[in-house]
Chains A and B, each alone.
Chain A
């Protein structure tokens, strides 16, 4: 059982480039989330989805886009990368909302230079 799989593990981007962070889960979870983690700041919610075809903004959505065409996949798109997007990105999933624990991927470390 793979759980939540994120790719790539590491990536370096130049300013203005774009990329897609991949996230897939094999637990048939309806809820999926993207967080970013900056040193000493905890995790901030970027986008979330409550099911295929439904997405919504979190606390820090600017500069990012998401899509949810299937239950399994929830890719995060960075357009016009900026140094402020240097961070560690975590994808998570849950079977339902607030009272279900989140299952996290191992993260993608992104550096924008």
Chain B
């Protein structure tokens, strides 16, 4: 069965600094990978997704993620964070099938002024 690990429960970054959120997956074949963001009191919103092809994918709000098969990773990056980026970020994988989504436990991003 597929699994997703987000090793950082909390990350604090200064506004304007760069950001990298880590995600490692465990799956036999090439997984479908997603990053979702959850703002306080809100549902989850899709930031970006990877299915195949170019391993560097661009998403909304200036985020990007790179799929690295050799490291089983799909890390999320942003060159310069804004205070509005403070939220919970979830790495998600799918092996296929209607019930196939597996969520990581989330990384809580705190932005320092």
Q: Which residues of A contact B (CB under 8 A)?
A: 4, 31, 33, 40-45, 48, 50, 56, 58, 90, 92, 97-99, 101-102, 104-107
- Does the CB pair B98–A48 fall under 8 Å? yes
Cα distance A56–B100 in the bound complex, in angstroms: 13
Q: Does B83 lie at the interface of the complex (its beta carbon under 8 Å from any beta carbon of A)?
A: no
Residues of B within 8 A of A45 (CB): 99, 101
Contact B9 A98 (CB under 8 A): no
Flag the segment in B14-22, B64-72, B74-82, B89-97 that touches A: B89-97
Asked whether, in the complex, the Cβ of B100 is within 8 Å of the Cβ of A98, the reply is yes
Q: Which of B46, B51, B98, B101 contacts A56 (CB 8 A)?
A: B98
Pairwise interchain contact B94-A98, C-beta atoms closer than 8 A: yes
A56 to B25, CA, bound (A): 25
Majority SS of interface residues in chain B? Answer: loop
B98 touches A31 (CB 8 A): yes
A107 to B105, CA, bound (A): 17
Nearest A-chain residue to B31, judged by Cβ: A98
Q: Check B98 against A105 for contact (C-beta < 8 Å).
A: no
Partner of B44, one of A41, A58, A99, A104: A104
Which of the residues A44, A99, A105 comes within 8 Å of B43, measured between beta carbons?
Answer: A105
Closest to B93 in A: A98
Residue among A45, A56, A102 with the highest chain B CB neighbour number at 10 A: A102
In the complex, which residue of chain B has the Cβ closest to the Cβ of A30?
Answer: B98
Assuming the A-B contacts A90-B44, A98-B95, A105-B43, are A40 and B100 also in contact, with contact meaning beta carbons closer than 8 angstroms in the complex? no
